[in-house]
Each structure stands twice: as C-alpha cells, then as structure tokens.
Structure 1
Amino acid sequence: MLRLFLVLTGTLSLALGVLGIVLPLLPTTPFILLSAYCFARSSNRLHRWLRSHRWFGKLLTNWEKHRGMQASHKRRALWLTVFSFALSIYLAPLLEVRLLLVFIAICVLTGISRISVISET
C-alpha cells in the first residue's frame, strides 16, 4: 500500500513539476526532487528512468551527489525565472497581484542564487 502511495505521489509530483516549467508560480525543482524521492523508495524502474531522463537526469544526479548545480544550469534557471515572472507581472491586471509576484520572484531568485555551484563535468 505504501509503495502504491509513493508511486502515485511521485507521478503526481512529476506532472506538477513538468507543468511548473511553463507556469511561473508552480515550482519545478521541488516537485521533481519529490518525485525522485518517492520513486527511489517505491520503484527502481521509475527512479532509473527519471535519473536517466534527458531534462532532469543530470540535474538530479548533481543534486543527489553534490547538493548543487552546474553554473550553466543555474544561469538558465535564473534567466527563465526572471523571464516568466516578468511576463506574469506585465500581464497581471491588479497592482496587488503584481506586488505579490515581485515578492515571490525575489524569494525564488534568492533561493536559486543560494544553491552551490559544482564544476562542469
């Protein structure tokens, strides 16, 4: 029963993480990390698949081994975050929503900036 719960949680988390790629308020990284955690404890096949995935595999491996990310990935994450939040702030109809988005963007960018950089391999 626990195994089924972890597979379902991992799958839902992966779906939310993929959605987070295009939706600025939905964080991709925590959902992908949660998926990896759930799959590692429930399904070797799904965990291997996620770790060998062309988008997420290297990032997950770097995080699991070094608790960091490569400088190129970090730059890309920062630029994509700035772009998606800038677009959202521009499109937001209310000043209060814009201010909330600015606050969230600052928090997210601060979090990404604090992740340690590992050497390119």
Structure 2
Amino acid sequence: MSQRVRWAWWALAYVLLGLGFVGIVVPFLPTVPFILAAAYAAARGSDRLHRWLLQHPRFGPMITDWQEQGAISRRGKWAAAISMAVCAAVLLAVAPVRWAAYAGVAVMVGMGTWIWTRPEPGPAQPPEM
C-alpha cells in the first residue's frame, strides 16, 4: 500500500474516531458506527491507533465482537433501541414537515430491525494454528 493511501486511511480513522467521541455527548449522532468504522480505517492506516482501540476498555470488546463474529451485545442492542425510540419521539414532536419525520422514523425502524437480527457475542474463538 502506498504511503499516500496509508496516510488517507490514518486521517479517516482519526476523523471517524472524533465523530464517535462527539456522538457520545451529542444526541442524534451515533457513536458505535463511527467507532467501528474508525477501527476499520485504523487497521489499514495506523497500527498504533488500531491496537489502542482494540485494547480500550469500553470500545475494545465491542470492536472485537464485531470483527470476529459480526455480533452486537444485548446491552448494545437495548441501548440502540432506546436511543432510537427517544430520537423518534423527539423527531415526531418537533419536525416541521411530517413526511420527513415519518421517513426518519422508518429509517430508525429499519436500522433497529437490522441491529436486532445480528447475533450476540458467543465465546471467543481460539486462533487457528
């Protein structure tokens, strides 16, 4: 991989990580997808950042579950469902255009359905020899 491409992955990883951190405190901005995408980009652009994300006490297990099993924890599923329900209620209450509110809620229902169809993490798989 060329140095420019590696640098682009590195920059993207940090931008995504920054958006993930902003999503912790800003409602309507998701955290988990940005952290997962940051881990993906970091794996291609920054070994150090990728290791840090995998070893992070909060993000590491979530990233590992997703990378190894495509799994989302039950706690994560409930957190997503509750936050989307709150966002949907706010959207329906304040949206000036009803069809836009309904479209937003439909997207959240679709994403919620997809999230709940993901498997839950099982025991860690030993590395193959």
For the superposition of Structure 1 and Structure 2, which TM-score range results when normalised by the shorter chain? 0.7 to 0.9
CA distance in 2, matches of 1:68, 1:49: 20
Larger fraction in strand: 1
- Residues of 2 paired with 1:116 and 1:42: CA distance? 29
Tell me the TM-score normalised to structure 2 length.
0.78
Among 54, 74, 78, the alignment partner of 2:77 is 74
Note the residue ranges of structure 1 that are not aligned, 5 or more in a row: none
Report what 2:111 is aligned to: 108
Q: Secondary structure at the match of 1:116?
A: coil
- The answer for the alignment partner of 2:34 in structure 1 is 31
- By how many angstroms is 1:120 displaced? 8.0
Q: How do 1:31-110 residues align onto structure 2 when only pairs under 5 Å count?
A: 31-110=34-113
Q: Percent identity?
A: 32
Relative to structure 1, the CA distance from residue 17 to residue 99 in structure 2 (aligned partners, 3 Å threshold; closer, same or farther) is: same
Q: Distance in 2 between matches of 1:27 and 1:72?
A: 16
Higher normalized contact order (CA 8 Å, seq sep 6+, divided by chain length): 1
Task: State whether residues 89 and 101 of structure 1, in contact with CA within 8 Å, keep that contact through their aligned partners in structure 2.
Answer: no
Taking only aligned residues, the RMSD between alpha carbons, in angstroms, comes to 2.1
Name which one, 1 or 2, has greater alpha-carbon Rg: 2
Unaligned runs of at least 5 residues, structure 2:
125-129
Secondary structure in 2 matching 1:93: coil
- Residue matched to 2:127: none
Q: How many residues align?
A: 120
Partner SS for 2:51: helix
Cα distance in 2, alignment partners of residues 49 and 107 from structure 1: 32
